Chains A and B, each alone.
Chain A
Amino acid sequence: MKGQVTLRLIMKDWRMNSPVIVLSIIGGAVALGVLLIGGETPFVLGAVFFFTSMIFCACILPLSSIVNERKKQTLAFMMSLPISATQYGTAKLVSTLGAFLIPWLTLIAAALYMILGRHVLPNGAIPITLILATVPFIGFCLITGTALVAESEGWGTAAIAVVNSSYWLAWYLLVSQAPSVTRTWNSRVAVWDSATVNILGAEFVSILLILGLTMILQSRKRDFI
């Protein structure tokens, strides 16, 4: 037996998703470049495009990697390989998560460089940038989990619609319920108060819960095709 089949599936998915990964990184980089122009309008445009690049990646990856596998009938080909439904689900989750984390971490690193290295924004913007950037990560997990468990284009699209329409509400609630986070965004130093740490903690716990629930539901399936 040659290398792990699960690993081969992950590599295959990364190769197939490389255009989405590259596009998201280019989009986010261009958005950060707009910030360099300076002024209020470039700041708003740059920030909107920056988060839009993350949202684009969070929507397209689960669609192309999971929903399309069923829609384009390549799932039977994958399941003819020596893997179980649980292994397939694990491979999909790891490959899609990995494919999302590449642009997500790259864009966050680029944003931190713009703040710390180029001083486009004050250091106080770091906590709120991380809090806001983690919301598309949660959205990605919800869409991926729904696509994997429900295995239907309809449910996948519904999850995208719900998640996308919830972003602004989620961001508004985060900011309005934690005024200390927004109050300190233009301070010279990053302020890591309890509200900031609690929000970030809650975001990452949500991500772990969604991914864990997805794996549990996936492993309980009895009919796979």
Chain B
Amino acid sequence: MSDYVIKIEGVCKSYRFFELDNIALQVPRGTIMGLIGPNGAGKSTTIRILMGLVHQDRGEVRVLGHRMPEGQVAAKWDIGFASDDMRLYGAMTLGWHLRFMQSIYNSWDARYAERLLKRFGLRAEQKIKGLSHGQRVKAALLLVFARRPKLLVLDEPTTGLDPVARHEILRELTEVMADEDRSVLFSSQNTQDVEQISDRITFIDRGHIIDSMDKEAYLDRWRRLRLEAPAGVALPALPGVIGIRQSGRLAVAISNAFEPHLPGAYENSGARVHAVENMTLEEIFVANVERSREEVEA
């Protein structure tokens, strides 16, 4: 079997006011891939295509070795899918949902489901309509986790959760990944969540994948340099620097391929380097999106 649980190549999908353009995405087995993008970036459309719920106009999609959307029935036996806009049956109890899922999946782990019920503070006899938003999200994820799927596809699962509930969900996700054969694709607008649990990160904006690599590589390569350029000194355009914002004598340069010699290069040009700072994933995400939009507009 392939080393990739998800392999998307050249996928396009057109709507009247939105276009997913030439999407390529690979998720290696045993990794947590964070898919980050602003509202309307194409995260949910990409996920629906790889679940077979939306058919791509062009391109190839393989999930767990199955060609999508044709192979969606076989693939979905091993995929646990939950999304922000997914609801359970309000009139039924959580216990009814547990029994319903157990009646379908051989892989259902009843003991693990019991453990999750306790850990998430849920009661099987509660009706779904009586649960809070956080409890409903936990209930939906419990139904997914207890199936022990090979691949988890989670579309903004932590949206609208309080910090404690988010922490519980993320901790559980990390535990799920104790099995090295499991993989997760996790979309979110919350870069903190993604930074906390992901091995690899993909940025998507306006229907384009703008970057995709290891989380550590992002954090290693991206730096912010605080510079001072005396009068008459022009800051040079150096390789690896994707943008400079200048205000009077002070400037901030953003590098997406930082090398130790970069500060020296600025010093040699006559500028002073006040600081070289690491960037958070959120800052990297924003800088990446801005660069991508500037390139498109240019």
Chain A positions near chain B (C-beta within 8 angstroms): 1-3, 5, 8, 12, 16, 72-74, 76-77, 79-85, 87, 222-225
Contact = CB atoms under 8 A, between A and B. Distances in A.
Most chain B CB neighbours (cut-off 10 Å) among A8, A77, A85? A77
B103 interface: yes
Contacts, number: 71
Contacts of A80: 51, 76, 79-82, 86, 144
Contact of B86 (A76, A84, A85): A76
A39 to B, nearest CB: 42
Interface stretch (B87-95, B191-199, B204-212, B227-235): B87-95
Contacts of A76: 53, 81, 83, 85-87
A81 B55 contact: no
Interface size class for chain B?
A: 20 to 34
A74 B55 contact: no
Contact of B91 (A5, A8, A16): A16
Contact of A84 (B72, B87, B103, B105): B72
Contacts of A74: 86-89
B106 A1 contact: yes
28 contacts: A1-B106, A2-B103, A2-B104, A2-B105, A2-B106, A3-B104, A5-B104, A8-B104, A16-B91, A16-B92, A72-B87, A72-B90, A73-B85, A76-B85, A80-B51, A80-B76, A80-B79, A80-B80, A80-B144, A81-B76, A81-B104, A83-B73, A85-B53, A222-B54, A222-B55, A223-B53, A223-B54, A224-B54
Contact of B48 (A2, A12, A77, A225): A225
A2 B103 CA distance: 7
- The DSSP consensus for interface residues of chain A is loop
B74 interface: yes
B72 A77 contact: no
A77 B73 contact: no
A16 B89 contact: yes
B18 interface: no
Contacts of A224: 53-54
A3 B81 CA distance: 20
A3 B86 contact: no
A80 B73 CA distance: 10
Contacts of B140: 77
Contacts of A81: 76, 104
B144 to A, nearest CB: 8
B77 A1 contact: yes
A82 B73 contact: yes
Contacts of A3: 103-104
Nearest to A222: B55
A154 to B, nearest CB: 18
B112 interface: no
Contact of A73 (B72, B86, B106): B86
Nearest to A73: B87
Interface string B44-66: 00001001111100000000000
A28 B110 CA distance: 44
B143 to A, nearest CB: 8
A84 B73 contact: yes
A202 B77 CA distance: 43
Contacts of B81: 76, 80
Contacts of A85: 53
A76 B69 CA distance: 16
Given A80-B51, A223-B55, 6 more contacts: A8-B100, A73-B86, A76-B53, A77-B88, A81-B76, A85-B53
Nearest to A82: B76
Contact of A225 (B54, B76, B89): B54
B51 A77 contact: no
A41 to B, nearest CB: 39
Contacts of B106: 1-2
Contacts of B53: 76, 79, 85, 223-225
A12 B89 CA distance: 11
Nearest to A3: B103
Contacts of B73: 82-84, 87
Contacts of A16: 89, 91-92
B260 to A, nearest CB: 48
Contacts of A8: 100, 103-104
A80 B86 CA distance: 10
A167 to B, nearest CB: 30
Contact of A12 (B52, B72, B100): B100
A88 to B, nearest CB: 10
